[in-house]
Amino acid sequence: MKVFKIAAIFLFGIIVVLSVIMTVLLGAKNKETSTSKEVVIVAGMSRAEVAKKLSEEELIKSQFAFFLYLKMIQAKILPGTYEVSAADSASTIADNLARAKFKTASITIIEGWRASDMERYLVEEKNLKQLKGFAAKADQEEGYLFPDTYEVKIEVTIDELIKLMKDNFTTRTSGLAVDPDALILASIIEREAKSDSERAAIAGVYANRLKIGMNLEADATVQYAKGNWKSVSVDDYRSVISPYNTYLNPGLPPGPICSPGLASIKAVLNPEQHNYYYYFHAKGETFFSKTFEEHRAKVNQYF
């Protein structure tokens, strides 16, 4: 009994000593530093490899102690770029890794952008070079890439970003009867309207035109066909040969011309009821007309 008691005390002492040692080894490598390093964790890295990498970067005191801690908390570390400081304790670093607190980029996708606009912004302005080629993959998802602000990991892939934006579209339009035709028309409204207050009225114009089989004649569809949002000329109405040119083709174009916001989608679902078939923008205002003669007279007045 005495031997057992001595052994228990001895074992307790060892546990206390080991606990103290682990606490020390899991402490901050350098509490005085104010700098941090970017550490890239690639897919498939084991806990031992992560511990080794941080040790080589001189961010932790003990590779072995860090590995044991990762194993103890059953950390599943997602790939990404993490901002790691030697001023943090190893346990804090491990917890951040386990909670996927990787370095992120904030991106804001604007209403009315097409996939090529998004790629230009992501690659040139946000410096996410791996997203070069985004437009080629995302073109078929035009209209479903919901415009919003997203927090993404620095290494986000094209497929991951497309999925994120499409999932957001599904969430944000939940409860709305957004069929493909409604989305196409909403994308035109997004490019044609100058303010939220006129979206429903313009939606009403296009609804009226569709009812009588009149061509939509939306400049934005010609711009889309040309590949940019620059002003189009009267000559472009006839010379731009494309199924997206709604001056030449009746009905809706084959697909959305951009990603519309909720305001444009709701305007299409609840268009203003009126007898207008024409409109134009001038001097910061939008002018609506019931007949072509009335429309032409107003255009001559302001241009």
Same domain, 282 and 190: yes
Residue 185 confidence (pLDDT) above 60: yes
Q: What is the mean pLDDT of residues 282-297?
A: 92
End-to-end CA distance of the chain: 107
Residue 110: name the closest of 264, 260, 267, 263 by CA: 260
The 10s digit of each residue's pLDDT in 50-71 is 999 989 988 888 888 888 888 8
Which of 65, 86, 102 is at the close of a domain? 102
Same domain, 98 and 108: no
Same domain, 112 and 96: no
What per-residue string of b and e applies to 26-49 under the rule 16 or more CB within 10 Å gives b? bbbbeeeeeeeeebebeeeeebee
The CATH number assigned to the domain holding 64 equals: 3.30.1490.480
The answer to the question of residue 2 being in a domain is no
Phi, psi of 100, deg, nearest 5? 55, 40
Same domain, 117 and 161: yes
Same domain, 93 and 109: no
The answer to the question of residue 22 being in a domain is no
Quote the pTM value: 0.77
Q: What is the mean pLDDT of residues 135-141?
A: 94
The pLDDT, as a whole number, for residue 70 is 87
For residue 251, the Cα-to-chain-centroid distance in whole angstroms is 31
Residue type, 254: P
Residue with tokens 């080991």: 18
The answer to the question of residue 8 being in a domain is no
Same domain, 194 and 110: no
Contact 261, 293 (CB under 8 A): no
Residue 97 confidence (pLDDT) above 90: no
Which of 172, 196, 228 is at the close of a domain? 172
Same domain, 79 and 165: no
Residue 41: name the closest of 26, 57, 27 by CA: 57
Q: Which two tokens stand for residue 264?
A: 């444009």
Range of the domain at 88: 30-102
The 10s digit of each residue's pLDDT in 144-174 is 999 999 999 888 999 999 999 999 999 999 9
Same domain, 77 and 90: yes
Same domain, 126 and 90: no
Q: Which two tokens stand for residue 116?
A: 């090529």
Which of 77, 102, 127 is at the close of a domain? 102
The answer to the question of residue 13 being in a domain is no
Output 20 or 254, whichever has higher pLDDT.
254
Residue 82 confidence (pLDDT) above 90: no
Same domain, 133 and 60: no
Per-residue confidence band for 17, with pLDDT thresholds at 50, 70 and 90: very low
Output 185 or 13, whichever has higher pLDDT.
185
Per-residue confidence band for 6, with pLDDT thresholds at 50, 70 and 90: low
The answer to the question of residue 25 being in a domain is no
